[in-house]
Amino acid sequence: MKKLSPLLILVVVAASGFFLGRWIFPGDAGSDPAATSDEPEVLYWVAPMDARYRRDEPGKSPMGMDLVPVYADSGGETDPAVVWIDPVVINNLGVRTAVVESGSLPRIIDTVGYVAYDESTFNHIHSRADGWIEKLNIDSTGESVERGQVLFELYSPTLVNAQEEFVASLASKSSALREASANRLRSLGFGENQIKALQKTRQVQQRVRFYAPNDGIVAQLLVREGMYVTPAIEIMSLGQLDKIWLMVEVFERQAAWVEPGQRAEVQLGYLPGRIWHGIVDYVYPELSPGTRTARVRIRFDNPDRSLRPNMFAGIRIFGTAVPDAIHIPQQALIRGGSVDRVVLAEGDGRFRSRPVVAGIESGDRIQILSGLSVGETVVSSGQFLIDSESNIDAEIARMEQAAGADDHSNHKQAE
């Protein structure tokens, strides 16, 4: 078992603003006897840069560096995967630990999204006859309109001819002809009030008015005054803000956690401290090819219209909890290329790296599927320095064992 290398300790302490005249390691002749009486026995001294260079007493390595003591563990043997650190150094490094816990772990998804119109409330305004927009009462996108408000006036020869036919049918004694003429007006977009007014006044309107079918916001305005339009051309679209959608991006690894009906909370930067509560309305079946994320739609009531389209929002979705999960603080996990690991605190200044299999992330906690037991203690701060030292020592030990096996094999072949 090897002690944390002096070079790494010196870097950490220098960065923290501490200054010591010299490092006092357990076993040094200048250390306090009362503080070192319970320290482990020094087995030998080794060069920091060459583990094969060993001496029975302190000194200098061939590179001019101070030799580092290697201590015996409780069994009298060394374990290169274990790092021993003096309690004073632990305090200077700011090492903090946490206990491995077990319990229900909610699947909490923290993500982002943007506010959008509820598309089910959209009204797309078209003319049912071709003609020219003589007057446009809407100036720009974003205007508020009320039900029954005049949106535009259209001159259309088709609409003029239909009115003239209806007025002519009124003089006829044939009720079937009058009804047929009225139905043609309805099919061209005339409202009942407009038909009644025409029946009463019998005056043909050269410019026919088109009215807003409901309250809303002009989401799109695609024409200007004087333009020629046909039934295929969308003139404008009206959206409502009393109910809105929130379009959310969820990482691929979390896509299976989201289901319709789950509770969600939303916060926006322009109104800090206020939380909106909504329900997951729909999970889209496809992932975005560019971002590799799943799209989720959340529906919200918006009576005061404080949520506006294209606003950026932070969202938290509460998924189904995982029962009886073993979990640790998320910062205690060291992510590796192929293996994740944690640093165990074994007591008396001893630390060991251990590989683990990580599960879901939930807030500041992360599930551990294997590698840890409830009640064990892991390092949650300063673990990267300890882990790097432990892994270096373990790798040197494996190299020495491999070299020794090769020497033994070569010796056998020579015989």
The pLDDT tens digits for 363-396 are: 788 999 999 999 999 998 877 777 666 655 555 4
The pLDDT tens digits for 173-182 are: 888 999 999 9
Given a cut of 80, whether residue 82 has pLDDT beyond it is no
Which pLDDT does position 41 carry in this prediction? 73
Instruction: Locate CATH 2.40.30.170 in the chain.
Output: 108-118+241-319
Q: β-strand 377-381 against 96-99: which pairing, if any?
A: antiparallel
**Residue 212 — very low, low, confident or very high, per pLDDT cuts 50/70/90?**
very high
**What CATH class is the domain 128-232?**
mainly beta
pTM of the predicted model, to two decimals? 0.57
Given a cut of 50, whether residue 327 has pLDDT beyond it is yes
- What single string gives the DSSP state of each residue in 107-139? -EEEEEEEEEE-GGG-EEEE-SS-EEEEEE---
Which is higher by pLDDT, 233 or 107? Answer: 233
Q: Which two tokens stand for residue 214?
A: 């409901």
Q: Is 156 exposed, middle or buried (0-12, 13-18, 19+ CB in 10 A)?
A: buried
Question: Which amino acid is it at 124?
Answer: H
Beta bridge partners of 243: 301
Which pLDDT does position 15 carry in this prediction? 43
How does the average pLDDT of the chain come out, rounded? Answer: 81
Helix, strand or coil, per DSSP, at residue 371: coil
From 279, 253, 255, select the one nearest 266 (Cα to Cα).
Answer: 279
- What single string gives the DSSP state of each residue in 280-345? EEEEEEEE-TTT-EEEEEEEEE-TT--S-TT-EEEEEEE-PPEEEEEEEEGGG-B--SS-EEEEEE
Q: Point out the least confidently predicted range of 25-29, 110-114, 179-183, 318-322.
A: 25-29
**Residue 198 — very low, low, confident or very high, per pLDDT cuts 50/70/90?**
very high
Q: Point out the least confidently predicted range of 14-18, 251-255, 360-364, 393-397.
A: 14-18
Question: Which amino acid is it at 18?
Answer: F
Cα 47 → chain centroid: 46
Topology annotation, domain 108-118+241-319: Elongation Factor Tu (Ef-tu); domain 3 (2.40.30)
Which pLDDT does position 17 carry in this prediction? 40
Q: Point out the least confidently predicted range of 47-51, 60-64, 111-115, 214-218.
A: 47-51
- What single string gives the DSSP state of each residue in 189-211? T--HHHHHHHHHH----SEEEEE
Instruction: Locate CATH 2.40.50.100 in the chain.
Output: 128-232
The answer to whether the CB of 173 falls within 8 A of the CB of 194 is: no
